[in-house]
Chain A
């Protein structure tokens, strides 16, 4: 088999796993957009905040210790124990649910029936607020996150591909795990939204707020529910990206990578978010592989956005976005 083909295959596989990571972030956007028509600018920061909180819990950091030290001249920083990961994750989930309750109480409740752009602006405010709170609460230094997921080259993939092609592919084990977890997450979300009463209510709210109110669905409860789920998805994304590249401010910028994914997959489709992510991941890697020698590299930075632009021109609702139903 020619080398080029083998390299292209490796790039494709790497692209698929990278795409899953993008899709994880995009999922959170889709959930909130579907249920409330809000483009949640804070989704990336939520992932950062979730990861920070998780690391903080794991390492037994005292929240707001810098603030407390500055105010009272104390020298607090750690409780002196480590929380096991299996306990720290549920604790972080609780924090994300609490965040959802607060967002509903202090932001959404007061903006019922406002233009989507106003809600969007509110989420920009939320993003900056949360970023600041995250900083004050847990400190601004780069932290390593380890939840016990395996890292490094996958020996199995290397062995198998070497046996087949005489060339071992390099795939990160973390990304294989990420793919598995994303699949589980999507399956769980699909079952929830298609087959449960609350899931149906969630889709009903997405379609028509007024009608949902008229049948007795509490919008406030549904919003808390949606933001909680989005918070949990943000936590999963935060864990994956945090394990990969450390927990630091730049984690919140992964939200930017989710934008082209959303434009491709459609803002309203969960499968769209996944497939959009995969297309961007693979497209990015393959384009880089074939075009870099010609145009001089660094295409990964802009390829996704260019692809998104093309989509905006020819298929603005995305690949899987809900068709705007218009009966004649």
Chain B
């Protein structure tokens, strides 16, 4: 749980992108962010703030949802990736774990993991080694390897989805809402593994999260989004200690925890939003 980013090189640089759905709905209104190599970066904000859209714009999965990046650039390792095929992105090392897990329900857990290696051409042995590595991080998956993914628990599905992404041997994982629908204990466990993967395997993470509290404990840097814009950025420590973040996202103030109703009345006073 470092508060300073381990290295200063930027792996991903998003410059002022706009995303339009169905040619009419403007979901992102000029989002810029950079993700340092080897770090965990959190993208925070409420429902509809544009976190998922940002991740999908990077992985270009918005294309299949009738969305498109109409403005700005997305540089990964110095290369512009706007409009690139998702398959090419996976090959170049960027893979997304989608919100709501999206396992292949009728495939077994192990088959799910193996599909993650679809773009790899380095032979069976290398893929088998990767599989062992995933099982090392998620021993639970090894026990359930022969079960149909659709019948495993929510936590196991989230692990399967992350493991599947790992199988492509990515340098960067876009992790969308890993805590969704999971018990607090399990959320902690998942984030623990994310931190380990980051430390031990050097995987860079950009994670979108509503659970600000957990995310800021594990991330190195963070961005806060509202209404399709970035409204605040900083190291995790800065964000954790920022009074506004405390009030609006962590539900705390100097006088201790506030009730939801009070927080809402404070929300109207927010200045930095506009």
Chain A residues proximal to chain B, CB less than 8 Å: 112-113, 197, 200-201, 203-204, 206-219, 322, 325, 327
Contact = CB atoms under 8 A, between A and B. Distances in A.
Interface string B94-134: 01111000111111000110111011000000000000000
A200 B104 CA distance: 10
29 contacts: A112-B64, A113-B64, A113-B65, A200-B114, A203-B106, A204-B104, A204-B111, A204-B112, A207-B105, A208-B103, A210-B61, A210-B64, A210-B98, A211-B98, A214-B90, A214-B96, A215-B90, A215-B116, A215-B119, A215-B164, A215-B165, A215-B167, A216-B91, A216-B168, A217-B87, A218-B87, A219-B64, A325-B105, A325-B150
A211 B151 CA distance: 17
Contact of A208 (B91, B105, B119, B148): B105
Contact of B87 (A203, A216, A327): A216
B271 interface: no
Given A209-B64, A325-B150, A327-B151, A215 B95 contact: yes
B59 interface: yes
Given A113-B66, A201-B118, A327-B151, A214 B61 contact: yes
Contact of B119 (A113, A204, A216): A216
Contacts of A204: 104, 107, 111-112, 115
B110 to A, nearest CB: 10
Given A201-B118, A203-B111, 8 more contacts: A113-B66, A208-B102, A211-B102, A212-B115, A213-B86, A215-B115, A325-B105, A327-B154
Interface of B: 59, 61, 64-66, 85-87, 89-91, 95-98, 102-107, 111-112, 114-116, 118-119, 148, 150-151, 154, 164-165, 167-168
Contacts of B168: 215-216
A86 B90 CA distance: 42
A297 B266 CA distance: 81
A216 B90 contact: yes
Contacts of A325: 105-106, 148, 150-151
Contacts of B114: 197, 200
A214 B103 CA distance: 11
B103 A211 contact: yes
B61 to A, nearest CB: 6
B241 to A, nearest CB: 35
* A contact face: mostly helix, strand, loop, or mixed: helix
A212 B161 CA distance: 11
A207 B112 CA distance: 11
A218 B107 CA distance: 18
9 closest A-B pairs (Cβ-Cβ)?
A216-B90, A325-B150, A211-B102, A216-B119, A207-B104, A216-B87, A204-B104, A204-B115, A213-B86
A211 B87 CA distance: 12
Contact of B102 (A200, A206, A210): A210
B98 to A, nearest CB: 6
| Best-buried of B61, B86, B165 by chain A (most CB within 10 Å) | B86
A209 B105 CA distance: 12
A215 B105 contact: no
Contacts of A216: 86-87, 89-91, 95, 118-119, 168
Nearest to A198: B118
Contacts of B87: 213, 216-218
A234 B91 CA distance: 35
B258 to A, nearest CB: 35
| Best-buried of A201, A204, A216, A322 by chain B (most CB within 10 Å) | A216
A200 B115 contact: yes
B115 A201 contact: yes
B175 to A, nearest CB: 12
A79 B102 CA distance: 55
A214 B95 contact: yes
Given A200-B111, A216-B168, A218-B85, A211 B118 contact: no
Given A113-B64, A207-B106, A215 B118 contact: yes
Contacts of B106: 203, 206-207, 322, 325
Contact of A197 (B104, B118, B150): B118
B59 A214 contact: yes
A119 to B, nearest CB: 15
Contacts of A215: 90, 95, 115-116, 118-119, 164-165, 167-168
Contacts of B105: 207-208, 325
A112 to B, nearest CB: 6
A219 B87 CA distance: 10
A219 B86 CA distance: 10
A200 B150 contact: no
A201 B111 CA distance: 10
Contacts of A201: 115, 118
B151 A213 contact: no
A112 B62 CA distance: 12
